[in-house]
């Protein structure tokens, strides 16, 4: 497998102080037949040296982006070939700012901004290289059980931005931050919406969807939460093509973030490119 460069591309928008609060990369795959719930501790031990804390959460239902019908959210399935899904396990780093999420048909990696000013986003190039290594480690474990490789069927990448609109001299109008929002007086106290677009391959075939979700509530949130995500099917079932999907998704989301946010916002966040 070719090594992934950790150097950021010069043609992508870049900010010194973006409002980024969380980044998630993930892959959904066919559940290996040999895996059973009793082996969950073995999976944790693959990562326990760097992720010593464990939490248990409800499972994420299998979901697929489908095309040819009316637009909408991904289709979720309540069961898979093994029946009801096992709970989702979170493996957390010592500072709890990095999370590996595992369930029998899915692996995700989260970075979360903490209260510590030193907790800077490690950048996508470093994060995706780490995630590829985690996927490979999990695949090798499954192969040791029954020789089964990961059969990836969906990928997702999300950037979650918290944009404060209260305090100091920050504008408290949604249109000051997002180009596509412009209200008269009085400004709404809260609003929410989702914009979806199809992501296509180089041949023009639909492979996924880009979602732009926004929620504004100056009373409880103190501003805007802007979530940009891409979900869809990789070109193949192997880890390499799943990583390629996530890398292209990241490029599209960086461009989308710069396109939907305003020049004033870019100045506040220190746009350098």
Q: Looking at residues 222-232, what average pLDDT do you find? A: 94
For the segment 235-246, what is each residue's pLDDT rounded down to a tens digit?
A: 999 999 999 999
Domain boundaries defined on the chain: 20-67+83-268
Nearest to 230 by CA among 204, 195, 202, 258: 195
Gap between the Cα atoms of 196 and 203, Å rounded: 20
CB contact at 8 A, 47 and 91: yes
Q: Confidence band (pLDDT; 50, 70, 90) for 219?
A: confident
For the segment 115-128, what is each residue's pLDDT rounded down to a tens digit?
A: 666 778 889 999 99
pTM, full prediction? 0.90
- Which residue has better confidence, 182 or 156? 156
Burial of 199 (0-12, 13-18, 19+ CB in 10 A): middle
Q: Rg for the chain (alpha carbons), in Å?
A: 20
pLDDT at 187: 77
Gap between the Cα atoms of 255 and 252, Å rounded: 5
Q: Looking at residues 126-150, what average pLDDT do you find? A: 96
3-state helix, strand and coil shares in percent for the chain, rounded to the nearest 5: 25, 35, 45
pLDDT at 157: 98
pLDDT at 85: 63
């Amino acid at each position: 497998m070719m090594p992934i460069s950790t150097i950021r591309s010069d043609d992508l928008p870049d900010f010194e102080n973006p409002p980024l609060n969380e980044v998630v990369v993930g892959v959904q795959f066919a559940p290996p037949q040999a895996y059973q719930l009793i082996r969950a501790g073995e999976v944790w031990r693959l990562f326990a040296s760097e992720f010593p804390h464990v939490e248990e959460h409800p499972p994420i239902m299998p979901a697929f982006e489908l095309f040819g019908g009316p637009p909408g959210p991904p289709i979720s399935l309540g069961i898979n070939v093994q029946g009801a899904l096992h709970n989702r396990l979170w493996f957390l780093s010592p500072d709890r700012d990095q999370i590996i999420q595992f369930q029998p048909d899915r692996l995700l990696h989260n970075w979360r901004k903490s209260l510590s000013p030193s907790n800077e986003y490690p950048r996508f190039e470093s994060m995706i290289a780490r995630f590829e290594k985690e996927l490979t480690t999990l695949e090798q474990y499954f192969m040791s059980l029954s020789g089964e490789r990961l059969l990836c069927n969906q990928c997702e990448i999300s950037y979650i931005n918290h944009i404060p609109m209260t305090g100091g001299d920050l504008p408290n109008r949604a249109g000051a931050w997002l180009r596509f929002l412009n209200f008269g007086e009085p400004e709404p106290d809260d609003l929410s919406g989702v914009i979806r677009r199809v992501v296509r391959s180089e041949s023009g075939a639909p492979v996924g969807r880009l979602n732009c979700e926004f929620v504004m509530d100056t009373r409880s949130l103190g501003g805007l939460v802007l979530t940009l995500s891409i979900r869809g099917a990789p070109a193949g079932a192997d880890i390499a093509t799943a990583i390629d999907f996530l890398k292209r998704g990241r490029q599209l989301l960086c461009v989308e973030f710069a396109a939907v946010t305003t020049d004033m916002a870019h100045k506040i966040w220190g746009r350098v490119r």
